[in-house]
Amino acid sequence: MRYELYYWPDIQGRGEFVRLALEDAQADYVDVMRRGNGERTKGTRDKMAKLLDGTRVARPSFAPPFLKAGSLLIGQSANILQYLGPRHDLAPKAEAGRLWTHQLQLTVADFVKEIHDTHHPITSRLYYEDQKKEAKRNSKYFREARAPKYWAYFENVIDQSGGPYLLGRKITYADLSIFEIVDGLRFAFPKMTKRLERKHPLMSALHARVAGRENIARYLASKRRIAFNEYDIFRRYRELDG
């Protein structure tokens, strides 16, 4: 079965958490709005809109990313990963392990929302320029309290499991997502992230390990990996990094 991933073609965004799992697993998939060489595919915006239209589609998603897997249409990044994980050896088979991996992924999703809100604390309907003052205020608490709390939480999970991954010796899709968080925050908040990494070596080691995985390394070097940019979740605004 060939999966169809539906997501915005010009950003990593929340689609990237799914792309990383599909790439690591070397799953047969098409990133519907993008061509293999990374270019945008014409006419696919309508195709995605149709699948989001609740008057035509049973079980519609609220927003991308969503995955078409045969007759299944699956939305919410953590839910998509929960589906893919056991099928591609990126999650434990036993219930307790699957629940724990999903719990960690939901915590990643919470973190992602807070990262997004550093530059859009009022609403995503307004430009960053229209909420700069609030973004600065939000980012101060993000740098000083929220990011360190999430970071220390995941560091402790790795430590408690014996590492090098969140669940111990075996990688899961949640580790791929932690890679993305570290990578993204290195880009968006370089000064803050340097401080966090100095204090928490296990997160950095996990990032390096994931980056070095054969399929991931190939993906990161390919045109399929979209560069960080100023429309994405991870944005570099110097004034927000303190």
204 in contact with ligand GSH (CB under 6 A): no
44 in contact with ligand GSH (CB under 6 A): no
82 in contact with ligand GSH (CB under 6 A): no
DSSP 65-82: -EEEETTEEEESHHHHHH
# binding residues, ligand GSH (CB under 6 A): 8
Q: Which is nearer to ligand GSH, 76 or 107 (CB)?
A: 76
- Output the smallest distance, CB 100 to ligand GSH, in A: 19
Amino acid present at 151: W
Tokens at 94, concatenated: 């036993």
- Output the smallest distance, CB 7 to ligand GSH, in A: 8
Q: Which is nearer to ligand GSH, 55 or 93 (CB)?
A: 55
64 in contact with ligand GSH (CB under 6 A): yes
For ligand GSH, the binding residue among 1, 49, 57, 63 (CB under 6 A) is 63
Q: Which is nearer to ligand GSH, 14 or 143 (CB)?
A: 14
Q: Which residues pair with 200 in a beta bridge?
A: none
- Output the smallest distance, CB 61 to ligand GSH, in A: 8
Q: Which is nearer to ligand GSH, 181 or 202 (CB)?
A: 181
65 in contact with ligand GSH (CB under 6 A): yes
> From the CB of residue 112, how many other CB atoms can be counted at a distance below 10 Å?
22
Closest CA to 17 of 69, 68, 82: 82
What are φ and ψ of residue 98, in 5° steps? -65, -40
Cα angle at 235 between 68 and 49, to 5 degrees? 30
Spell out where the chain has E strands. Answer: 3-6, 29-31, 66-69, 72-75
What CA–CA distance (Å, rounded) separates 16 from 24? 12
3-state secondary structure of 165: strand
Omega before 164 cis (within 30°)?
yes
Stretch that binds ligand GSH, among 60-68, 87-95, 141-149, 214-222 (CB under 6 A): 60-68
14 in contact with ligand GSH (CB under 6 A): yes
76 in contact with ligand GSH (CB under 6 A): yes
User: What residues from 94 to 123 belong to the interface with ligand GSH (CB under 6 A)?
Assistant: 109
Closest CA to 66 of 113, 33, 112, 25: 33
Stretch that binds ligand GSH, among 57-65, 138-146, 197-205, 221-229 (CB under 6 A): 57-65
- Site for ligand GSH, rule CB under 6 A: 13-14, 63-65, 76-77, 109
